[in-house]
Amino acid sequence: MKTVYLTLVFLTVSGLVILCCSRDKEPLVSYTHPSSWMNVKSDEFHGKKVVEISYSSCKSCHGTSLDGGKSGVSCFKCHQIYPHSSKWVELASAGFHGNYIRGENWSMQDCKPCHGNDYRGGQSQKSCYDCHTGSQGPETCNVCHGSQANAAPPEDLNNRTSTSEITIGAHQIMISNFVATNENLTIKNVCSVCHQLPGSISQAGHIDTTPHAEVLSSLGWDRNKRTCANSCHGEEEHVWNNFK
């Protein structure tokens, strides 16, 4: 009798233990987020929570990769690019944020809901200016092409640097010659000798859907021959990417 009694007690206790533990493991049954979880203006907004405490705590239900897990709701359902992967800041990686922006034909609209329309951080509290320290942040002229010296290639738009590339060619030789020999030309306006010079990235004629940069038609740029028919060089025919 005593053994039966003890067994019963043991079973009841372990039953309770199992029940409690399994409750702890499966809290989703009755789990709901606050009603204003999706309200951007609320203090309980999930984005605000993530910025405050990071997203580690979301992983227990939304999965270690935050693609759903047992909650069945992936963060990527609404945010294609957030949470950012570790590759997002790895320069050499295909998943680098610059490559994503290139793939969007250089549009940075996708970043603004979180990083702010002015890129100064917004609710994400991570400013693009932390790394893009130029006066216009990520819209500064040498962020996508050029170098510290000026915004002309190298680098070209695909981060290449060889002057034998048609996209790079004699840019730097020509620019220093022009600036040195013409008092009206400065590093800021010298581009307008050959291009329509944009005042901002969104100016019409700048980033478009044509495959290559536009050269002023008056120069008679011939992309196959890589020369300018109406150049200042007289009879000599200079090849843009084989400049001697």
CB 65 within 8 A of CB 74: no
Binding of residue 171 to ligand HEC (CB under 6 A): yes
Question: Which residues in the 33-62 window bind ligand HEC by CB under 6 A?
Answer: 33, 37-38, 40, 46-47, 49-51, 55, 57-58, 60-62
In the window 60-119, what residues touch ligand HEC (CB under 6 A)?
60-62, 66, 71, 73, 75, 77-79, 81-84, 88-89, 91, 97-98, 100-102, 106, 108, 110-111, 113-115, 119
172 interacts with ligand HEC by CB under 6 A = no
Verify binding: residue 131, ligand HEC, rule CB under 6 A. Answer: yes
CB of 191 to ligand HEC, least distance (A): 3
CA–CA distances in Å: residue 14 to residues 11, 22, 23? 5, 12, 14
Measured CA to CA in angstroms, residue 127 lies from 12, 52, 161 at distances of 57, 15, 28
Binding residue for ligand HEC, selected from 68, 87, 163, 207, defined by CB under 6 A: 207
Task: Report the nearest approach of ligand HEC to the CB of residue 9 (Å).
Answer: 33
Residue of 120, 197, 227, 238 interacting with ligand HEC (CB under 6 A) = 197
Q: Any residues with CB less than 8 A from the CB of 167 and at least 6 apart, and which?
A: 153, 156, 157, 158, 160, 212, 213
- Do residues 230 and 157 make contact, with C-beta atoms less than 8 angstroms apart? no
- Asked whether 129 and 119 are in contact (CB, 8 A), the reply is yes
The CB-of-38 to ligand HEC minimum distance in angstroms stands at: 5
Tokens representing 238 are: 């200079």
CB of 205 to ligand HEC, least distance (A): 6
| Planar angle of CA 53, 120, 40, nearest 5 degrees | 50
